[in-house]
Amino acid sequence: MKDLFTEIWESVRRNKLRTCLTGFAVSWGIFMLIVLLGAGNGLMNSFMQGGGGFATNSVSVGGGWTSKPYDGLKAGRRIRLDDTDVALTGSDVFADHVDKVSATVGTNATVSYGRKYFSGYIDGQYPSAQEMSKVEIRYGRFLNDKDIRDSRKVVVMPESTAEKLLDSGQGVESLLGKYVKVGSLAFQVVGISKSDRMRNDNNLYAPFTTVKTVYGKGQEVGSISFTTKGLDTEAANEEFEKQYKAALNLHHRAAPDDERAVWVWNRAHQNVQMSQGRKILSTALWIIGLFTLLGGIVGVSNIMLITVKERTHEFGIRKAIGASPWDITKLIISESISITAFFGYIGMFLGMLTCMLLDKTLGQSTMSVMDEQVAMLVNPGVGLDVAVEATLVLIIAGTLAGFFPARKAASVRPIEALRAE
């Protein structure tokens, strides 16, 4: 092995400038590949963060309008979800696939604290909403089971909402334990959550039971949310949705195959689309990167051809004193791989450095999309998997670049090679 590297070094040393110029093309190719993939990852991460406000296995259900006449009732009837739907969702019928069930009911109300007030929306929720909607608590706590059981008058509000109730300069945590007026009633603030750019800022979370009782909603429920389990494929998700809709439709005397009587929004579908999008983007970037690299590989191949031409006489000597064709092939291919790998790794290193730089600059800046602040790139960069893949690409590329020149070198007959000058 050491002998082989000595030989490669001897050869490369004689043609430093030529080797470096060729190597630059390879470095550039790998550099582009890494930067493209890194930026692509950053972009996808940014999308994911934007759409990541819900657990990927969560399903939301809402009432709709019937689209078919059924059981003596005409089409176009309004369906309102109620307690029975909630019970049905959590019943044994769907126990295989339904994990946690929560329902919401809400109403608009004026929220005030001291002289400050704003018009908000009171969202009656179950404790499980925290997980499903990924509510991040900054101070205090989220709603708990005791709040539900006792129908306590407590609220959890986002930071940005809390700020509206405070004079500037006051920390939002000072609101914890204080009472705010919601409509005509006083609710105690038990938690402050992190503001979510994707959701309405004016939403306050209160216990489901409290909102239902206080605002006289009777049996009516705004929406049902639940998390699913054991639904790994798209087909399984669709089958489950079909059965679930049929069950709810039946309860509301709507046709079992009526698609519009209740709305089911399953994030699993979105998730599949998202990961498909990610795959397509990354494939496209790989292709662009590989084509950029191709230029470098052609360059290396070209240089190896020239090297072989120049060294024909030397190979003739080597063959005369006992080098087999494979010895010669090995020499050329390993030289080609060494050049490709060496300059490739320089490119990879610089590419990763650039990704880090992107993270420090573009990664910190945000742009405004529909009045919401969205980071342009989130954690751009590539993982170890890409580094390993790129290494493989380099070795394959080096072998390819060296293959034809090596074959040419190995196939020259020793007497002809000895005659060459």
Partner 1 sequence: MLIELKDVNKTYNNGQPLHVLKGINLGIDSGEFVSIMGASGSGKSTLLNILGILDNYDTGEYYIDGRLIKNLTEKQAADYRNRMIGFIFQSFNLISFKTAVENVELPLFYQGVSRHKRHEMAMQFLDRLGLADWAGHYPNEMSGGQKQRVAIARALITQPKIILADEPTGALDSKTSEEVMQLLGQLNKEDGVTIIVVTHESGVANCTDKIVHIKDGIIGKIEDNREHRASVFGINSTMK
State the CB neighbour count (10 A cutoff) for residue 76. 11
Contact with partner 1 (CB under 8 A) among 276, 283, 324, 361: 324
Of 105-113, 135-143, 223-231, 308-316, the segment contacting partner 1 by CB under 8 A is 308-316
Count, residues near partner 1 per rule CB under 8 A: 23
Q: Min. distance of Cβ 323 from partner 1 in angstroms?
A: 5
Of 49-57, 369-377, 388-396, 413-421, the segment contacting partner 1 by CB under 8 A is 413-421
Nearer to partner 1 (CB atom), residue 385 or residue 421: 421
* Residue type (1 letter), 161: T
Of 87-95, 145-153, 180-188, 312-320, the segment contacting partner 1 by CB under 8 A is 312-320
Instruction: Check if the beta carbon of residue 52 is closer than 8 Å to that of residue 134.
Output: yes
By CB under 8 A, tell whether 9 contacts partner 1: no
Task: Work out the burial of residue 81: count CB atoms within 10 Å of its CB; fewer than 13 is exposed, 13-18 middle, 19 or more buried.
Answer: buried
Contact with partner 1 (CB under 8 A) among 201, 314, 359, 389: 314
By CB under 8 A, tell whether 18 contacts partner 1: no
By CB under 8 A, tell whether 323 contacts partner 1: yes
By CB under 8 A, tell whether 359 contacts partner 1: no
**Tokens found for residue 118:** 């704003």
Helices (H) and strands (E) in the chain — how many of each? 13, 12
Reported residue count of the chain is 421
Give dist(CA 358, CA 291) in Å, integer: 23
DSSP string, 330-397: HHHHHHHHHHHHHHHHHHHHHHHHHHHHHHHTGGG-EEEETTEEEES-SS----HHHHHHHHHHHHHH
**Tokens found for residue 174:** 């000072």
Strand, coil or helix: 222: coil
Instruction: Check if the beta carbon of residue 195 is closer than 8 Å to that of residue 201.
Output: yes
> Could you tell me the CA-to-CA distances from 38 to 31, 138, 231, 275 in Å, in that order?
10, 31, 32, 16
Contact with partner 1 (CB under 8 A) among 131, 327, 359, 389: 327
Task: Work out the burial of residue 246: count CB atoms within 10 Å of its CB; fewer than 13 is exposed, 13-18 middle, 19 or more buried.
Answer: middle
Give dist(CA 272, CA 264) in Å, integer: 16
In degrees, to the nearest 5, what angle opens at C-alpha 382 toward C-alphas 381 and 383?
130
Nearer to partner 1 (CB atom), residue 118 or residue 326: 326
Contact with partner 1 (CB under 8 A) among 20, 284, 369, 415: 415
Q: Min. distance of Cβ 405 from partner 1 in angstroms?
A: 18
Give dist(CA 205, CA 120) in Å, integer: 11
Give dist(CA 264, CA 81) in Å, integer: 12
**Tokens found for residue 250:** 């039946």
β-partners of residue 192 are 139, 157
Q: Min. distance of Cβ 10 from partner 1 in angstroms?
A: 5
Nearer to partner 1 (CB atom), residue 296 or residue 405: 405
Contact with partner 1 (CB under 8 A) among 14, 18, 80, 279: 14
Strand, coil or helix: 144: coil
Contact with partner 1 (CB under 8 A) among 166, 201, 325, 366: 325
Contact with partner 1 (CB under 8 A) among 317, 388, 392, 396: 317
Contact with partner 1 (CB under 8 A) among 254, 318, 377, 405: 318
Nearer to partner 1 (CB atom), residue 362 or residue 418: 418
By CB under 8 A, tell whether 10 contacts partner 1: yes
Nearer to partner 1 (CB atom), residue 6 or residue 108: 6
Contact with partner 1 (CB under 8 A) among 149, 194, 309, 413: 413
Give dist(CA 42, CA 46) in Å, integer: 6
Nearer to partner 1 (CB atom), residue 252 or residue 319: 319
Q: Min. distance of Cβ 415 from partner 1 in angstroms?
A: 5
Which helix or strand (DSSP H or E) is residue 59 part of? strand 58-63
Nearer to partner 1 (CB atom), residue 32 or residue 328: 328
Of 137-145, 228-236, 298-306, 313-321, the segment contacting partner 1 by CB under 8 A is 313-321
Instruction: Check if the beta carbon of residue 187 is closer than 8 Å to that of residue 24.
Output: no
Nearer to partner 1 (CB atom), residue 392 or residue 415: 415
By CB under 8 A, tell whether 15 contacts partner 1: no
By CB under 8 A, tell whether 1 contacts partner 1: no
What is the contact surface with partner 1 in residues (CB under 8 A)?
2-3, 10, 14, 313-314, 316-327, 410, 413-415, 418
